[in-house]
């Protein structure tokens, strides 16, 4: 690794093994922290849900983590995405051609991608 390890010797507890928890753990471990991710659910998710990554910032972070190609393999190619108010009136719409894409997250992608490409120094614990 060409960067320094400013967090070496630090122990960090991350609460939640959804999308953000393992991603945070990955970055903390990359910079030297010893990280444990805890999750209230009895096991990691085996089904998927939509996660939207758009634009150069999101895609650049995923590329830096080494998971972009794996996530692209699970891309849903969703159509337009609309946000509506309580009266079902459209507030705004993201066109299908907006930069980026929506991926279906599964056990093999997130948090699995993070665990398969994680630097050493972090682990996941689940249960009540």
Domain range summary for the chain, segments of one domain joined by +: 11-126
Q: Where are the alpha helices (DSSP H) in 16-122?
A: 20-30, 55-65, 68-73, 112-117
For the purposes of burial, counting CB atoms within 10 Å of the CB of 16, is it exposed (0-12), middle (13-18) or buried (19 or more)?
middle
CATH of domain 11-126: 3.50.50.60
Q: Residue with structure tokens 């910032």? A: 57
Can you give the pLDDT at residue 111?
39
Residue ranges of the chain with pLDDT lower than 70? 1-3, 47-50, 97-128
> How many Å apart are CA 128 and CA 121, to the nearest integer?
23
Contact by Cβ (8 Å): 32, 9:
yes
Q: What is the pTM of this model?
A: 0.61
Can you give the pLDDT at residue 58?
86
Can you give the pLDDT at residue 74?
77
Can you give the pLDDT at residue 106?
43
Relative orientation angle of helices 20-30 and 55-65, to the nearest 10 degrees: 60
Contact by Cβ (8 Å): 99, 56:
yes
């Amino acid at each position: 690794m060409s960067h320094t390890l400013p967090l070496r010797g630090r122990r960090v507890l991350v609460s939640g093994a959804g999308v953000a928890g393992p991603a945070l753990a990955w970055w903390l471990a990359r910079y030297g922290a010893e990280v444990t991710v805890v999750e209230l659910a009895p096991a990691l998710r085996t089904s998927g849900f939509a996660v939207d990554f758009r634009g150069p910032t999101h895609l650049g972070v995923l590329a830096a983590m080494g998971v972009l190609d794996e996530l692209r393999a699970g891309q849903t190619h969703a159509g337009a995405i609309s946000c509506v108010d309580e009266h079902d009136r459209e507030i705004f719409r993201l066109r299908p051609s907006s930069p980026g894409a929506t991926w279906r997250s599964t056990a093999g992608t997130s948090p699995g991608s993070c665990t398969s490409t994680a630097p050493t120094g972090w682990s996941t614990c689940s249960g009540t």
